[in-house]
Structure 1
C-alpha cells in the first residue's frame, strides 16, 4: 500500500484546497475536510477529485500530526487550546435537526456532511476540556437539565462519530454514500 511522504504534505494540502474542499486542523493532531458549502450537484465531481488525490498520495494516517501542524502553520486551523475563547461555541446547532444518535456506519452519510461543523465543534470542545453538558446544550441544542439521558447519549454518539470521521482515510470511507 502506498504511503504519503512527509515532504508531500504541502502539495497534498494545496491540491485538496484547490478542489474547493475546506481542509483545516482541529487541535494538535486532527484535521478534517469539509464540503458542506459545495452545491449538491457538484459533490460527485468533488468526491472524484478527492479520490484521485487520495490515490496519488496514499495512506497518511501516520502523518496525521504533521499534517495538522502544517495546516496550523498556514492558518488553516480551529484553535483548540484556548478555554477562555471557547471556540467551539461558534458552531451551535442553531435549528439544525440533531438525531439522538449519530450514524454508526463505515461510510460518510448525508447526515455527516450536513453536521460536519457540529462534529468539528465537538472535537474542539473536547480538546478544550469543555463540560459535556455545555457541549450538548450549545452544539446539539439539547438541554441536559431537562433531558439528561438523551443529552448524554446524543453527545457521546456524536463525539464518537466525530472522532471516527477525523481519523478515517478516504479509502476507508465511501464518500458517495
Structure 2
C-alpha cells in the first residue's frame, strides 16, 4: 500500500492559530504559499533541480527558496511516518533501488535542512534575509 505524500497546511496563521501555539513550519506554509494563500492543490509540484545535500549555512539561500516546498513535503512525510525510500522516490523523483546510499544521503541532508528551516530558518524568511 502506497501512502500519499502531499503536504497539507496544518493550521492558519490567524489569531486562533497563534493563540494555540502553531508550530513554526505552519508559518512556513504562510510565507511559502503564492500570495500567502494556503497550498490545497493536490497536483504534484514540479521537482526543482537538486544537489545530494543542500547548503549547510546559517542563512536562507536561493537553493532553500527553490526547495521550500520540497522541505515542507519532507518534513510532513517524516512527521507522518512515511518510509524514507518512498519519500525520496515521490518528492525527488529519484530511483532509490539504483542508488540506495545516495538516496539516503539526499533524504537525510534535505530533511535536516527542512528541520533547520522550521526551527531557525523561518526567522530569516520573516525578516527577508537571504544570501545569493
Q: Please, what TM-score do these two structures have when normalized by structure 1? A: 0.51
Q: Deviations over 1:1-51 (max 9, x none)?
A: xxxxxxxx72996xxxxxxxxxxx6xx67424234647xxxxxxxxxxxxx
Q: Which runs of 4+ in 1 moved over 6 A?
A: none
Q: How does 1:1-177 map to 2 (within 5 A)?
A: 10=15, 30-33=25-28, 34-35=31-32, 37=34, 94-168=46-120, 170=123, 175-177=129-131
The CA deviation at 1:141 is 1.6
Larger Rg: 1
Higher relative contact order (CA 8 A, sep 6+): 2
* CA RMSD of superposed structures (Å): 3.5
Q: Deviations over 1:46-103 (max 9, x none)?
A: xxxxxxxxxxxxxxxxxxxxxxxxxxxxxx688xxxxxxxxxxx57564421111111
Unpaired stretches in structure 2, ≥5 consecutive residues? 1-13
Unpaired stretches in structure 1, ≥5 consecutive residues? 1-8, 14-24, 39-75, 79-89
Q: Deviations over 1:94-118 (max 9, x none)?
A: 4421111111110000111111111
Closer, same or farther: CA 108–91 of 1 in aligned 2, 3 Å: farther
- The CA distance in 1 between the partners of 2:76 and 2:32, in whole Å, is 19
Closer, same or farther: CA 109–171 of 1 in aligned 2, 3 Å: closer
The count of aligned residue pairs is 110
- The CA distance in 2 between the partners of 1:144 and 1:159, in whole Å, is 16
- The CA distance in 1 between the partners of 2:43 and 2:116, in whole Å, is 19
